[in-house]
Amino acid sequence: MSLIIPKKYKQKLLPETTEIAIKKIKETFQEKLARRLNLRRVTAPLFVLSGTGINDDLNGVENAVSFPIACMGNRKAEVVHSLAKWKRIKLGAYDIPAGYGLYTDMNAIRACEDLDNLHSLYVDQWDWERSIKAEDRNIDYLKQTVKCIYCAMRETERSIYEDFPHITPRLPEEIKFLHSQELLDMYPDLTAKERETEATRKYGAIFIIGIGAPLSNGEPHDGRAPDYDDWITPNSDGYQGLNGDILVWDDILETAVELSSMGIRVSPKSLIQQLEVRGCTERKELAFHRALLNGELPLSIGGGIGQSRLCMFLLQKAHIGEVQASIWPEEQIQLCRQHGIQLV
């Protein structure tokens, strides 16, 4: 994605008022999310030890920002990519029963990110995780959880409208569920990102199910690491996968915006299967993976929801840099300024 300059863009809130609105969104959404999913807030790490298997691999190719710890013999620590595995460990440590869970503020640095309207070096998410029963590992449970999150988003959008009535709500009443194979069948001549764009333009808000397993064209819709989301287990819809992404249509940028990545987490069985598919069975010896395979961790569902992206979308901004402080190329700063996009 290259930088998008919307035609005739006009910011709907001045920077000072934007700060007030950001605070409102963050307080409102996390309260509504916690209430709908029975979550309690916990404190999370910014970095973890390397070599434990706790950090997430995202698409499997990203390199974590790392540094040596002098007082621990220069043992290496790395900034988290997200907290999917760490949260699952905490569910077990706190003995949180099925139907309840936790959430936290996750902050990360992704140094290899391409910087544009939606991507920043700095990542801020609400990371959440919920314990489930074995019988909850199904597509209906996943969809019901997505609906709860989407309702929290719509309720937050409505709250912003009440305070700033010139920011008209854009989210449709319902979110549309589509499997990644269905998208490929609908748009066989388009790339995965183009398929997302067309489907999101059509429905306004979609949840794409099954991200990680190869589709009928031999390629996955998008990359997914093999050791947190379950993308290999068949579901009752006749496809593979118990995970997915929430995307919404942004009519300012005229593109799809991913707000959340989530899924039912791997069981011992699906972990082995996915490690074999990706050719990395050596990970079974890492501390996290051993604990999971030994039945020491609870079954769970979880995900991350972009804080800055949600703020950007709900406040109808054109660039994520309007709602978060980060570093941008000077030419991007100047180009945005010329078109009325004021980066923090």
For the annotated catalytic residues, the residue numbers are 56, 110, 125, 245, 258, 261
3-class state of residue 196 by DSSP: helix
CA distances from 95 to 19, 91, 266, 298 (A): 37, 6, 19, 9
**CB distance 302 to 127 below 8 Å:** yes
CA distances from 112 to 121, 223, 332 (A): 8, 16, 17
The SS3 of residue 292 is: helix
Q: How far is CA 327 from CA 21, 113, 154, 339, 344, in A?
A: 22, 12, 30, 19, 9
Helices and strands counted in the chain (H then E): 9, 11
Q: Which amino acid is at 246?
A: I
Question: Is the Cβ–Cβ distance between 233 and 242 less than 8 Å?
Answer: yes
CB atoms within 10 A of CB 196: 25
